[in-house]
Amino acid sequence: MTDKPTIGYIGLGIMGKAMARNVMKAGYKVVAHNRSRAAVKELVGEGAVEAFSPKAVAEQVDIVFTNLPDSPDVELVALGADGVIAGAHEGLIFVDNSTIKPASARLIAEKLGEVGVLCLDAPVSGGDVGAQNGTLTIMVGGPKQALDKVMPIFEAMGKSITHVGEGGAGQVTKACNQIMVAAQMVAMGELLIFARKSGVDPEKVVQAIRGGAAGCWTLDNKPPRLFAGNRQPGFKAYMQAKDLGIVIDTAREYGIPLPSAGVNAQLFSAMLQMDMAELDNSAVVGVIEALAGQELLED
């Protein structure tokens, strides 16, 4: 049996650090890099190897993962002067766990492919809890021969791994996911304020409806935190707004009408203007509160 591949992980935010830690727990050597060094030092204290550039990571590993805020960040890390492409070598596989534009994922795959690197776009869903528990949903685009080699590492990160199609298909799938997530968060905010302002206990409303046709992940996971007054992330509102921007840009590219997603994008954009950017995406209820003149925790 061959030795386990060496793994690189670039981007150690709320999600990335937990995912890299689970890879380490599964017995893989991890080479870590992050613009902010505190997260790197934390993982080094647990056995990771420190690197100081994407190039340095790529030179030392068999598979390099990235988990970064937006399309330009991934393009820079992958294709920049000191990027993964500069440290590329035979057999290297590049896997992006970020949520970026499908067009960016395809560009990166094309450019890295020119130097012999196989690429997977593999965005994830499941939030900070899923990242910590290794129960993420991973949606994958790219060549099957690369996925076959990466699958054991994905299994350390998530419980549902689906090969959707060729390069960019993972990011299209994540955009679809974010359309539904945003719709659920907004609908939950509306129903909670609707119940409260109508004089009915929203906690009991959630208890009554979550086992029926309205049942969903959002109603199963978010209300207890909101009822406890906790609107901390989780998944930050500004990231949800960014993802909806990807949805709208891609829809425009293909001529797809998305009326409700367009409204929801505006509501999450409003969160940024109302100093809620760092709150959880479920805190979009705060926009509904402002519009309705009714706070969730105030009778």
For the chain, the three-class secondary structure string (H helix, E strand, C coil) is CCCCCCEEEECCCHHHHHHHHHHHHCCCCEEEECCCHHHHHHHHCCCCEECCCHHHHHHHCCEEEECCCCHHHHHHHHHCCCCHHHHCCCCCEEEECCCCCHHHHHHHHHHHHCCCCEEEECCEECHHHHHHHCCEEEEEECCHHHHHHHHHHHHHHEEEEEEEECCCHHHHHHHHHHHHHHHHHHHHHHHHHHHHHCCCCHHHHHHHHCCCCCCCHHHHHCHHHHHCCCCCCCCEHHHHHHHHHHHHHHHHHHCCCCHHHHHHHHHHHHHHHCCCCCCEHHHHHHHHHHHHCCCCCCC
Q: Which of 55, 174, 236, 242 is catalytic?
A: 174
Active site residue 174: yes
Q: Is 114 exposed, middle or buried (0-12, 13-18, 19+ CB in 10 A)?
A: exposed
Q: Of the candidates 181, 201, 194, 206, which has an alpha carbon nearest to the alpha carbon of residue 261? A: 181
Residues with a catalytic annotation lie at 174
